[in-house]
Amino acid sequence: MASINTIEFKDEKLYLIDQRKLPGKLSIFECENFRDVEFAIKDMVVRGAPAIGVAGAYGLVLAAKEFIHLPKEEFFNEMAKSVQLIGNARPTAVNLMWAVKRMKDIMEANNDKSNEEIYKALLDEAKAIEKEDLETNKSIARYGNEIIPENSTILTHCNTGALATVGYGTALGVIREAHYSGKNISVFADETRPRLQGAKLTAWELVQEGIPVTLIPDSVAPVLIRDGKIDVIIVGADRIASNGDTANKIGTYMLSQIAKDFNVPFYVAAPISTIDFDIKSGEQIVIEERDISEVTHIDGIRIAPEGVKVYNPAFDVTPHENITGIITEKGIIKPPYVKNISRLLK
Ligand code: MRU
């Protein structure tokens, strides 16, 4: 499982595990150009905040390859359009915009160079973003392991594992680390309606690694928390505001609120690239609304009547007051978040 390649750039193509098909089928989705990458992000072939950031960076490498033969001005015009398309493929996870900005900065810093040299610089940057992600996750996992008690039961939501990143994962990376370090842990995984990332992806990753996991309908979590069956909750993040408010998969807010009621520690695990230092609070986070078919259908089979109205936000915002700590690659950030998050900028 550690060898899983969620994302691989090889022979000028981007290869992605097609997460829409798991766990039934392990198949690879091939991206020949940046439009394929845009589609893959939008349709959730690849998903999870860090993973879409890395995929987006390689999307711009593919765009540079496609436009390499154009005169300089046209090359830059086409690249600017690709930056827009890739950067806007999904609106909530800030890692996508963060990675796209890193690529854009590289283009600007090299604008006096040949298109070939710019292509090479972009490829190097995308590879750096990919490599850093794995190192970051290992560091998050080590810090996170400190808050996992021996013999504990952990609740998690959505998928934050190797599939949501380049490898290892964020919240699931912490769980992996705790398991490998010999702690006797077990996991409750929320199935995560409507797209079932918990059932399809988290359960798949944990079962493959032999980490004890029990899959539950999302609505079971409050009962387990109330009954003292959960020692700690760890989730990932798609965007963290400067005050610690955290956007993550829909259902996270509800968990955090119940955790607060019953004094269960509630941690967010995320790389610093998930922090949006430009926004003050969660109110400024754009929440993606996805197609109604995610709610009216399960695996292509209609489960709701034709014509019903549907509301399908993909994320919610957990207020910082509900968060015990934010586990990053530089350590665990504790409240007061405004002060302790801003320290990271120094
Ligand atoms: O819609 P998704 O599947 O991309 O949502 C993923 C999540 O909400 C994850 O918790 C988050 O991106 C962190 S992944 C390390």
We report the CATH number of the domain holding residue 319 as 3.40.50.10470
Q: What is the CATH number of the domain that holds 67?
A: 1.20.120.420
Same domain, 90 and 168: no
Check pocket membership of 164 for ligand 1, CB cut-off 6 A. Answer: yes
Measured distance CA(292)–CA(43) in Å, rounded: 13
Angle formed by the axes of helices 49-67 and 72-87, nearest 10°:
160
pLDDT in tens, 119-177: 999 999 999 999 999 999 999 999 999 999 999 999 999 999 999 999 999 999 999 99
In a domain, 222, yes or no: yes
Same domain, 222 and 277: yes
Q: Is 295 helix (H, G, I), strand (E, B) or coil?
A: helix
Measured in angstroms, how far is the CA atom of residue 237 from the centroid of ligand 1? 7
Same domain, 89 and 30: yes
In a domain, 199, yes or no: yes
Same domain, 108 and 190: no
For the question of residue 276 being annotated catalytic, the response is no
In a domain, 320, yes or no: yes
Closest C-alpha residue for ligand 1 atom 15? 160
Measured distance CA(166)–CA(164) in Å, rounded: 7
Measured in angstroms, how far is the CA atom of residue 200 from the centroid of ligand 1? 13
Measured in angstroms, how far is the CA atom of residue 79 from the centroid of ligand 1? 27
Same domain, 296 and 159: yes
Check pocket membership of 47 for ligand 1, CB cut-off 6 A. Answer: yes
Which of 160, 316, 329 for mutating ligand 1's site (highest number of atoms within 8 Å of CB)? Answer: 160
Same domain, 256 and 117: no
pLDDT at 255 over 60: yes
pLDDT in tens, 269-297: 999 999 999 999 999 999 999 999 999 99
Measured in angstroms, how far is the CA atom of residue 69 from the centroid of ligand 1? 37
User: At 226, is the pLDDT very low, low, confident or very high (cuts 50, 70, 90)?
Assistant: very high
CB-CB contact of 198 with 159 (8 Å): yes
Instruction: Give the contacts of 9 (CB within 8 A, at least 6 positions apart).
Output: 15, 58, 61, 126, 127, 130
Same domain, 211 and 282: yes
- Domain termination site, one of 90, 110, 137: 137
Please compute Rg for the chain using Cα positions. 20
User: At 8, is the pLDDT very low, low, confident or very high (cuts 50, 70, 90)?
Assistant: very high
What residue type is 85 in one-letter code? L
How crowded is the C-beta side of 294, counted as CA atoms within 13 Å? 16
In a domain, 1, yes or no: no
Number of domains the chain contains: 2
CB-CB contact of 115 with 71 (8 Å): no
Tokens of 3: 């060898």
SS (H, E, C) 22-79: CCCCCCEEEECCHHHHHHHHHCCCCCCHHHHHHHHHHHHHHHHHHHCCCCHHHHHHHH
Give the atom of ligand 1 at the shortest distance from the alpha carbon of 248: 8
- Domain termination site, one of 92, 115, 137: 137
Q: Write the Ramachandran bin of 237: left for phi over 0, alpha for psi from -120 to 50, otherwise beta.
A: beta
Check pocket membership of 238 for ligand 1, CB cut-off 6 A. Answer: yes
In a domain, 280, yes or no: yes
The model carries a pTM of 0.97
In a domain, 65, yes or no: yes
Other CB atoms within 10 Å distance of the CB of residue 292: 15
CB-CB contact of 67 with 74 (8 Å): yes
CB-CB contact of 23 with 200 (8 Å): yes
Does residue 335 have a cis bond before it (omega within 30 degrees)? no
pLDDT at 1 over 70: no
For residue 289, the enclosing domain spans 138-345
Q: Is 327 helix (H, G, I), strand (E, B) or coil?
A: strand
Same domain, 33 and 173: no
In a domain, 2, yes or no: no
Give the atom of ligand 1 at the shortest distance from the alpha carbon of 171: 15
- Domain termination site, one of 117, 137, 157: 137
Instruction: Give the contacts of 76 (CB within 8 A, at least 6 positions apart).
Output: 107, 111
DSSP lists the bridge partners of residue 276 as 241
What residue type is 259 in one-letter code? A
Same domain, 78 and 197: no
Same domain, 176 and 274: yes
In a domain, 190, yes or no: yes
Check pocket membership of 49 for ligand 1, CB cut-off 6 A. Answer: yes
Check pocket membership of 197 for ligand 1, CB cut-off 6 A. Answer: yes
- Among residues 133, 190, 238, 245, which one is catalytic? 238
Same domain, 199 and 320: yes
Same domain, 187 and 329: yes
